[in-house]
Amino acid sequence: MTTAREHALSEIVFCETVLAKGGLNVLSDTFRGVSDIEAWEHYPAGDVFDPASNAQWFYHCHPASEGSAEHGHFHCFLRPDGPEGAIHHLIAIGVDANGRLLRLFTVNQWVVGDDWADADRTIDLITRFDMQMPSPSYLVNRWLTAIFVAYESEIADLIRARDALLAAHVPPDGIAVREDRALEVTSEFVVALRPGS
């Protein structure tokens, strides 16, 4: 294991531990000040954007489905040319109702409506996701950044798998592959929970 990965995994635990001291987790801190959580809404409103790195994220959840451990997910993006420039989806980070990391996954373009970038271009952006903002939670922002470092190779593999799946997918006649609503999740990595988490 690389030193950067070890440090990032320690950073993830640090953020979770500090939040837990206050009876919080990455999810409850993301929802600080929110009384009613609605499916499909972006939290926080307006998303989070770091003007230094051009990283951006929002959290949302789908309507509850029976038997699903996942509460929702953080959609993480990068705007390489600044806040008015193109936006590229990097990865989604699924968590349970206690904010525990469950999975990393990619989605088809129609899901987030981003500006398409192929795997090579998207992978080049992974290391630029650096969220150093005070709101809605500095610790949540640090946690997200640490996930990108700790799982950098897995994220790159997922993005390559996304493009491979899209290249092989045959949509119905008249529908572009990246607009095929029958294809939502394009690759997935399930994260093993740490003992005691």
95 pLDDT higher than 90: yes
Q: pLDDT confidence of 186, banded at 50, 70, 90?
A: very high
29 pLDDT higher than 60: yes
Write down the pLDDT at residue 37: 84
195 pLDDT higher than 70: no
Distance of CA 32 to the CA centre of its chain: 19
Q: pLDDT confidence of 1, banded at 50, 70, 90?
A: low
- What values do phi and psi take at 4, rounded to 5? -60, -40
62 - beta bridge partners?
A: none
C-alpha distances out from residue 35 to 32, 100, 140, 143, 164, Å: 8, 21, 19, 23, 41
Q: pLDDT confidence of 33, banded at 50, 70, 90?
A: confident
Write down the pLDDT at residue 41: 86
Beta strands in the chain (DSSP E): 43-50, 55-60, 70-78, 88-96, 101-107, 185-190
Q: How far apart are CA 140 and CA 14, in angstroms?
A: 11
* pLDDT tens string 35-84: 788 888 889 988 999 999 999 999 998 877 655 789 999 999 999 999 99
